Structure 1
Amino acid sequence: MTDSLARLVDELARTAPGLRIETGAGGTGAYAYDASNYRVPPQAVAFPRSADDVCAVLRACRDTGVPVTARGGGTSMAGNAVGPGVVLDFSRYMNRVLDIDAEARTARVEAGVVLDALQSATGPYGLAFGPDPSSHSRCTLGGMIGNDACGNRSVRHGRTSGHIEALEIVTADGVRAIADHTGLHPVDSDAAGHVSRLEQDIRNLIADNLAPIRTELGRIPRQVSGYHLHRLLPENGFDLARALVGTEGTCAVVTAATVRLVATAPATALLTLGYDDVVDAAEDVPEILRWTPTAVEGMDEAIVATMRARRGPDSVTGLPEGRAWLYVELDGDDEELVASRAAELLAVLKARGRLTGGRVVESVAERRSLWRVREDGAGLAARLVDGGESWPGWEDAAVAPEQLAAYLRDFRKLLATHELTGVLYGHFGAGCVHVRIDFDLATDTGRAATRRFLTEAASLVVGHGGTLSGEHGDGRARGELLEVMYSRQMIRAFAAFKEIFDPDGLLNPGIIVEPAALDADLALHTPTVVLPVETLFSFPHDEDGFEGAVRRCVGVGRCRSDAGGVMCPSYRATGEENHSTRGRARLLQEMVRGGTVQDGWRSTEVKDALDLCLSCKACSSDCPVGVDMATYKAEFLHQHYKGRLRPRSHYSLGWLPLSAALAGYAARPVNALLRGPVGTLLARLGGVTTKRRIPAFASRRARRKVLRAAKTGEPSKALLFVDSFTRAFRPHVAGATARVLADAGIPNTAQDGLCCGLTWVSTGQLSVARRVMARTVARLDDGDGDGLPIVVAEPSCAAALKRDVPELLGTDAARRVAARVHTLTGALTDLAAPDWSPPPLPESVLLQTHCHEYATFGSRRPADLLRKLGVRKVDEAEGCCGLAGNFGFEEQHYDTSMAVADLALRPRLDELADRTELTDLPEPAGRAEPTDRAELPDGEGSLPVVADGFSCATQVDHLAGDRGIRAVHLAELLDPAAHSHPHSHQPGEPS
């Protein structure tokens, strides 16, 4: 710790005793990055809870000469949210909606509130905040104010600056003030003189620069570059609130804002339009704008191809033929009128002759899916189908919409001249083009070439009357290029404006004024020290192995969303950056490069960050760039504990398949022993929580009877892999699965006695896992890839066979086996006889999908199958159950496990218990314990809780078993034996 930082920490201990401040590598490493190309490690990260905390930090920084950078969601793509001094993270605590005035259509919010949280709060009033960036699920209002963000519907609602009524700020010397449409006002009366002098200095600056401000600023709708000094012109009423929007934290720190809201339209229509290329699409934009759309969004084929390759061909539906597309949204008060206008617009565009196809998207679900493709564009474009990487840096230029086609035509020529490839998407209706380019930022030659390209690109866009930045801000990526766009007098006026607010240059230095070189502080370069990386996982999709895998994270921050998808359950439970997928990936990047993390594989900082990762694998699917933190964690644990004593739970839970097999020889006495004091003692010795009941082991005899009874004698069309969890704890599920498959025209043979190695993988015991997997593959591989499909009842084991086995073994045999693996859902979707009719099913089901099934078999989901089979309402508890294999059984993780359960599963179970009367219904065939199901009071019929994962079912039992709610496996729900003999039991014995 430097002397200045030590003094700062001491001063803050006195002046802001409740302020949390992190100075260690584990607390600061993740904040060295945002979503840009840059890496600037901070000295400290502070988490203010109030404006007084912010004042204290700024005063201490002024006294010690330490710079300050304000940060919201950390999604800035131009390097706006990284800095060398203290980073103020507003998203952790200052994230509240303070007030909503529905009549005035305004809201007062703290700087760290996430846009989606504001939209949720204003939605019941029929109101919304107009600007809606694609990062709406994690970007904060403070960040939007800093960059003057826009979004998908900027054609209608413009930029953030147009929706700001007042800003509550703290100046560089720690003085609180309010900026509004008439000027600057002190919060504390004793600061009135200081604030008055500051305002007068600004008025004098504007008076001295009227001509360049009037001629150079505010020329096109998306002109965000530089400072918005034209808002301070006499004809604009000296609107200091809107002048401070877009200053990127370089003039003052915004702590709260009063924002104007817009009414939401009751009816919308979405058109998808196909073109041969983006230039053709841009040619149609002026005509489309005549129809007053709310959104005109464009993208090229690379994004769609990447989405389909990563998430399956069904992940993008509803697009017409083409290699580039526009989304056009219309709105209004009447659905029929809006639909009629959409059809009329489509006809007009078809007559113009550029379309390769077009349609009005009727389905709400399809619209949502299509918007997700567009919103994930930045992340999807980072890692393309061929494995190539692309980067921001020139991702935000804008021109007037009528100039867009000409600009894109010339821009593509420029790319070709420099032998670069760009992935194009963006807000075409506003003339704003986002592009990620395959720059070589890792070598001196590549960086020099990047500099030449960016300089020429700046001249090109200015030549088309455009702007370097249309919403992301200048940041470190474009600040140096402002001299290409503005006159020397304008540049001097910008510098004078900042100096009035920040005479010591401590607020976000290197941004806009006295900018850092655009190729300085690039994260992607060859570090001085590189961690030797010899891993057991092969990381086949990453050219540079583990280093390339962790580099997948480019900081878009979708893992910081509070809703939608499944990742990242630990972040949703704790709200901590280090407990997000991004935070962990950034610390792993620091570990690999030998940056702020110095101890390599032995790093305690990385271990602590990974500790609350549930290994749910949801990030491998939900993360736009496919970060797979569960695999990275397994590799890290293997390397970290190599040759060292492990945590006790790694032995007790990691070796569970072996201990469960032994327990099966004497299940009754073992279960009796575990339910008493000896079980409590063993749990404590094994690092297992005593707050959960240890599941009862099944006997070998019971398992054999169940499997024997399920045999049909028909030639097998599938292999039923009896996994360790099913074998040890619920063999009745194996029997039910065998019967369901046979009933569906898939007679099968049970393969018992093998293991996928999952528990050893999740605890990082990869050497053991490889031996277990190799034995399993040797038994299952047919040598030519034409073997029987392998059906696995336990989703986590199916996922391990599908992904972990080939990536850990790296052999052709492993890949052949993986290609044959199906979950029960997948088998019934793809292999069932066309005329198969399942037994009668309930009208409604509460479903908990296993995270590994969600991540690995995403195109074959239980919810879709249940609907296809006739279940009218599938109420899915979206998100992780919180148990996650060994995680929720580990003593130190129990509280986090319950916090994750509180996000989705527990509320649904509580609602179910409150709404229903429990009735003893027929017991599923072969099950040792009776299963209670709920009877809906409105007569909809039985409402089972379906959870195929053993962890999920165990968590359901833990949360609601005492209220008579139990989870059933999909196989139990579909079991023909249970329906044909509702009051009989299949052979077997209690565990």
Structure 2
Amino acid sequence: MTTATRDLAGLTARLAELAPGLRVETGPGATGPYAYDASNYRVPPRAVVFPRTADDVVAVLRACREAGVPVTARGGGTSMAGNAVGPGVVLDFSRYMNRILDIDVEARTARVEAGVVLDALRSATALHGLDFGPDPSSHSRCTLGGMIGNDACGNRSVRDGRTSGHVEALEIVTADGVRAVADRSGLRAAEPGDAEAVRRVARLEADLRRLVEERLALIRTELGRIPRQVSGFQLHHLLPENGFDMARALVGTEGTCAVVTAATVRLVATAQASTLLTLGYEDVVAAAEDVPEILRWSPSAVEGMDEAIVATMRARRGADSVTGLPEGRAWLYVELEGDDQAAVDARAAELLDVLKARGRMTGGRVVETPAERRSLWRVREDGAGLAARLVDGGESWPGWEDAAVAPESLAAYLRGFRKLLASHELTGVLYGHFGAGCVHVRIDFDPATETGRTVMRRFVTEAAALVVEHGGTLSGEHGDGRSRSELLEVMYSHRMIAAFAAFKKVFDPDGLLNPGVIVDPAPLDADLALRELPLVETSFGFPHDEDGFAGAVRRCVGVGRCRSDAGGVMCPSYRATGEENASTRGRARMLQEMVRGEAIEDGWRSTEVKDALDLCLSCKACSSDCPVGVDMATYKAEFLHQHYKGRLRPRSHYSLGWLPRTSALAGYAARPVNALLRGPLGKLLARVGGVTTKRRIPAFASRRALRKTLRTAKAAEPTKAVLFVDSFTRAFRPEIAGAAGRVLADAGVPCTPQDGLCCGLTWVSTGQLNVARKIMARTVAALDNGDDRPIIVAEPSCAAALKRDVPELLGSEAARRVADRVHTFTGALTELADEGWSPPPLPEDVVLQTHCHEYATFKGRRPADLLRRLGVRGVDEAEGCCGLAGNFGFEAEHYDTSMAVADLALKPRIDHLDGRPVVADGFSCATQIDHLAGDRGVRALHLAELLDPAADHTGETP
């Protein structure tokens, strides 16, 4: 046993003694994802601890102090400056300490634990017409503790300022394990009856008061000069004229002085009326020139971004994902708020006229609809991720992403900053809170090479001098972290740097709290995560990633949108479990660790990586919802292929992976096979095959039924399209092929059915890529026969496989030609139907389960949009995965997770149908719905069945 292993064992034993039941995780499978945040850095911790109470935190700090082990507090792990990684114990507050303890409507305050996600607080306070003012773009996953650590701001910081302005009191644990309360008048022990704690806290406060008294002039002249001055410690809040505001002084200390366990925060009233203007400009400098005039109109938000972010959003999510922007190459969002909508609209119109008269805009407009506003704000909120991996494939990185100047200096600063970029032959993607003078930028550094790191260090050093020259600050809301702490000497005098060190030493004499940050900083180019890696030989080609598989998994930069509880579809397993290792980010970080080959030494054979990927449903939602386009389903397929190469596979890989072959055979004797599977022998076979016995095995259709339905699906010659009859439709519900053929003929797209081919999906999802490639090659050879007619696929998952998996696995021109012809049923009716076509009368309201693969792969062709266009008034869409997800929900070990995912969105709607029909094109989705409510007579309709001219439209087809 090594010394490090022995020390870790001693620490975990001591923690078990001090806090029985405390969850402590060690080993690369648990700690790997916590080696990263959303920054450039990688610092592997020794252990990750998941406290449930403040007493647990006390135990951790006492044990770590005894052992001399550093402690880093972590919320959502979205810090871009390297604030939330550390070499000792990482405290993850987001897992359990995430409760809203109290909302005082009359006082307009809320008391929350450090791990509460901002959106959870905002949802709770919205019921009372209240809100928490600061709103970072990461609001769907950042925690209040993280916001307090960084002194975060947000899109509406013009109105609401920084987090520090909204904190009334902090409940903290000191480095020596004492619970205290920091409020607007000082510091006190949390437990007045504990005499020793009262004495220690009183001594701590006395030392702090003495420190400030000795440096009054220094603090008054160097701190608090501009609204966004976040860098360093905010000691000016301790000045006599500020009432020794200990709460505000600790905001922004990044966990280097104390660990925050809870906070009492001030709330603001929700605006009654608002209007959004979008303004176009030739470049960001021209946009910045108009900011001082805009600020005269008291906006709630003034946000800026350049064209690269918009282009990437449209490429990733479809042309319709960004609408409402005027002509230009850079844009400002200007939001005005008030109590009366008419008055706000009038102010907006007047402001627009004033800006037009100034002559800098290329265009401007008022955004009319809430949907358009949501779309535009999402572009801005996804800025960090979108800028990380642009449409041209270029990568960019943080490192100088957060400087701020006074708004009136912004244009001049941006001119100088762009010149500085050009002098280093670098390109930056610019966006940010222009109304507050805060500029976010991601730069195409090359941190993987020694030369690139040298350029990065030289650039950020010169950038620090530039921002100081313009009276600005190195950090405007993200904190200094590992990116900028070394540069504080450029911004502050040596006396102020010494004051910061003295402040930390009073709180943390042993230097164990988040070491290397702000005080005694680590070099800004130490512990960089990126390095040159050898190419990894894979089956998938990963054509969009220059470095193949290594480049693909490197797409994850840690912004953590996959940790959101709402909005979009990813990541269903994280939403069901709340575990970092079950998020897209957590899995990507484990794959990055595997490629590095340090903590995880056994590569493709790694059981830790296999375990991290185990709960991935392969829904593909991340390939669309993730701002950088991480495609975990493909990575998982590649990993399973490599992991099991030459080895015995899980039983379900054979029983479910080979389902297209076995189901084709079952069709010849469907009746006796179905009877057998419904009996005791069926359950035995399921157990042997690794399939759960808690689900009914879907009934196989007979070959006779298939032949009959194909005759009805075939239209009279000449036909305009090929109807690809996939394995699931062929084996379990051939009637859908007939309905699809009739609807398409009615819509002016008569089809020729194509039977007997397979997309290879089940072999892909189980990682049997050699077999998948053979199946796909046969299918491509049959379809790429000189025919250029569209290929329409009724099963969305098979359509997605043909569209994306086939060309990426085969890599041939023939595969790409076939992929270019593929349409979902929804897409065919959206793009190919006669202009004047209208279906038979439809119900006024439906419940819709959109297939995840369709959502991810066929952008801008959503069933919900088609249904509304065809006259369905109410489309109640279950946003998220159904939970079955092909083989996943049939595998015995995944049944519980499958049902937990269904509980998130689908089941609540199925339980409250109120007579509405359910539409679900995916076989998995329909099967899950049958499992949830089939015994109540609920049956999901394929869209083709709903639109079938031969149906009676009462919810059943003839």
Q: Do the two structures share a fold, i.e. TM-score over 0.5?
A: yes
User: Which residue is equivalent to 1:709?
Assistant: 712
Amino acid at match of 2:822: V
Deviation of the 1:979 alpha carbon:
3.8
Aligned equivalents of 1:16 and 1:481: distance in 2?
Answer: 39
Q: What does the per-residue CA deviation read over 1:721-766, in whole Å, with 9 as the maximum and x for residues that have no partner?
A: 0000000000000000000000000011000000000000000000
Alignment of structure 1 residues 323-722 onto 2, 5 Å: 323-526=329-532, 533-722=536-725
Matched, 1:882 2:888: no
Asked whether the equivalents of residues 303 and 377 of structure 1 are also in contact (C-alpha less than 8 Å), the reply is yes
5+ residue gaps, structure 1: 917-933, 935-942, 986-991
Aligned equivalents of 2:661 and 2:783: distance in 1?
Answer: 20
What is the aligned counterpart of 1:165 among 165, 168, 174?
Answer: 168
Change over 3 Å in CA distance of 1:826–1:982 after alignment to 2: closer
Amino acid at match of 2:506: I
Deviation of the 1:533 alpha carbon:
1.5
Structural RMSD (CA): 1.0
Deviation of the 1:2 alpha carbon:
2.9
Q: What does the per-residue CA deviation read over 1:59-118, in whole Å, with 9 as the maximum and x for residues that have no partner?
A: 000000000000000000000000000000000000010100000000000000000000
Q: What does the per-residue CA deviation read over 1:481-512, in whole Å, with 9 as the maximum and x for residues that have no partner?
A: 00000000000000000000000000000000
Asked whether the equivalents of residues 237 and 249 of structure 2 are also in contact (C-alpha less than 8 Å), the reply is yes
User: Which residue is equivalent to 2:821?
Assistant: 820
User: Which residue is equivalent to 2:935?
Assistant: 962
Deviation of the 1:709 alpha carbon:
2.2
Amino acid at match of 1:609: A
The SS at the match of 2:81 is coil
Amino acid at match of 2:18: T
Asked whether the equivalents of residues 280 and 326 of structure 2 are also in contact (C-alpha less than 8 Å), the reply is yes
Deviation of the 1:211 alpha carbon:
1.0
User: Which residue is equivalent to 1:940?
Assistant: none
Give the alignment's TM-score, normalised by structure 1. 0.95
Deviation of the 1:872 alpha carbon:
0.5
User: Which residue is equivalent to 2:899?
Assistant: 898
Deviation of the 1:541 alpha carbon:
0.3
Change over 3 Å in CA distance of 1:980–1:361 after alignment to 2: closer
Q: What does the per-residue CA deviation read over 1:386-409, in whole Å, with 9 as the maximum and x for residues that have no partner?
A: 111000000000000000000001
Q: What does the per-residue CA deviation read over 1:221-244, in whole Å, with 9 as the maximum and x for residues that have no partner?
A: 000000000000000000000000
Asked whether the equivalents of residues 792 and 823 of structure 1 are also in contact (C-alpha less than 8 Å), the reply is yes
Aligned equivalents of 1:832 and 1:474: distance in 2?
Answer: 56
User: Which residue is equivalent to 1:104?
Assistant: 107
User: Which residue is equivalent to 1:838?
Assistant: 839
Q: How many residues align?
A: 952
Aligned equivalents of 2:955 and 2:13: distance in 1?
Answer: 72
Identity %: 83
What is the aligned counterpart of 2:188 among 185, 188, 200?
Answer: 185
The SS at the match of 1:185 is strand
Q: What does the per-residue CA deviation read over 1:364-390, in whole Å, with 9 as the maximum and x for residues that have no partner?
A: 000000000000000000001111100
Asked whether the equivalents of residues 4 and 66 of structure 1 are also in contact (C-alpha less than 8 Å), the reply is no
Amino acid at match of 1:909: I
Deviation of the 1:431 alpha carbon:
0.1
Asked whether the equivalents of residues 710 and 737 of structure 2 are also in contact (C-alpha less than 8 Å), the reply is yes
Change over 3 Å in CA distance of 1:6–1:983 after alignment to 2: closer
Matched, 1:872 2:873: yes
Asked whether the equivalents of residues 559 and 580 of structure 1 are also in contact (C-alpha less than 8 Å), the reply is yes
Aligned equivalents of 2:825 and 2:346: distance in 1?
Answer: 44
Deviation of the 1:4 alpha carbon:
2.5
The SS at the match of 1:472 is coil
Asked whether the equivalents of residues 842 and 953 of structure 2 are also in contact (C-alpha less than 8 Å), the reply is no
The SS at the match of 2:261 is strand
Aligned equivalents of 1:101 and 1:175: distance in 2?
Answer: 27
Amino acid at match of 2:133: G
Matched, 1:949 2:922: yes
Deviation of the 1:712 alpha carbon:
2.7
User: Which residue is equivalent to 1:922?
Assistant: none
Aligned equivalents of 1:526 and 1:450: distance in 2?
Answer: 16
Deviation of the 1:599 alpha carbon:
1.1
The SS at the match of 2:127 is helix
Aligned equivalents of 2:836 and 2:439: distance in 1?
Answer: 50
The SS at the match of 2:275 is strand
Asked whether the equivalents of residues 713 and 753 of structure 2 are also in contact (C-alpha less than 8 Å), the reply is no
Aligned equivalents of 2:543 and 2:953: distance in 1?
Answer: 48
Change over 3 Å in CA distance of 1:984–1:410 after alignment to 2: closer
Amino acid at match of 2:95: R
Q: What does the per-residue CA deviation read over 1:538-579, in whole Å, with 9 as the maximum and x for residues that have no partner?
A: 000000000000000000000000001000000000000000
User: Which residue is equivalent to 2:124?
Assistant: 121
Amino acid at match of 2:852: C
Deviation of the 1:526 alpha carbon:
3.1
Deviation of the 1:713 alpha carbon:
1.4
Asked whether the equivalents of residues 839 and 979 of structure 1 are also in contact (C-alpha less than 8 Å), the reply is no
Amino acid at match of 1:959: L
Amino acid at match of 1:349: L
Aligned equivalents of 1:237 and 1:247: distance in 2?
Answer: 19
Deviation of the 1:442 alpha carbon:
0.9
Amino acid at match of 1:957: D
Matched, 1:748 2:751: yes
Asked whether the equivalents of residues 542 and 808 of structure 2 are also in contact (C-alpha less than 8 Å), the reply is yes
User: Which residue is equivalent to 1:254?
Assistant: 260
Matched, 1:67 2:101: no
Give the alignment's TM-score, normalised by structure 2. 0.99
Alignment of structure 1 residues 123-138 onto 2, 5 Å: 123-138=126-141
The SS at the match of 2:912 is helix
Q: What does the per-residue CA deviation read over 1:304-337, in whole Å, with 9 as the maximum and x for residues that have no partner?
A: 0111111111111000000000000000111111
Aligned equivalents of 2:760 and 2:717: distance in 1?
Answer: 31
Asked whether the equivalents of residues 432 and 470 of structure 1 are also in contact (C-alpha less than 8 Å), the reply is yes
Aligned equivalents of 2:662 and 2:391: distance in 1?
Answer: 43
Asked whether the equivalents of residues 133 and 156 of structure 2 are also in contact (C-alpha less than 8 Å), the reply is yes
Deviation of the 1:980 alpha carbon:
9.3
Aligned equivalents of 1:978 and 1:275: distance in 2?
Answer: 54
Amino acid at match of 1:762: S
User: Which residue is equivalent to 1:48?
Assistant: 51
Asked whether the equivalents of residues 713 and 751 of structure 2 are also in contact (C-alpha less than 8 Å), the reply is no
Q: What does the per-residue CA deviation read over 1:636-686, in whole Å, with 9 as the maximum and x for residues that have no partner?
A: 000000000000000000000000000000000000010001100000000
Q: What does the per-residue CA deviation read over 1:903-930, in whole Å, with 9 as the maximum and x for residues that have no partner?
A: 0000111122xxx3xxxxxxxxxxxxxx
Alignment of structure 1 residues 136-285 onto 2, 5 Å: 136-188=139-191, 189-190=194-195, 191-285=197-291
Deviation of the 1:981 alpha carbon:
12
Asked whether the equivalents of residues 917 and 955 of structure 2 are also in contact (C-alpha less than 8 Å), the reply is no
Amino acid at match of 1:795: P
Amino acid at match of 2:260: V
The SS at the match of 1:381 is helix
Deviation of the 1:605 alpha carbon:
0.3
Asked whether the equivalents of residues 31 and 46 of structure 2 are also in contact (C-alpha less than 8 Å), the reply is yes
5+ residue gaps, structure 2: none
Amino acid at match of 2:284: V
Q: What does the per-residue CA deviation read over 1:789-842, in whole Å, with 9 as the maximum and x for residues that have no partner?
A: 000000000000000000000000000000000000000000000111111001
Asked whether the equivalents of residues 664 and 728 of structure 1 are also in contact (C-alpha less than 8 Å), the reply is yes
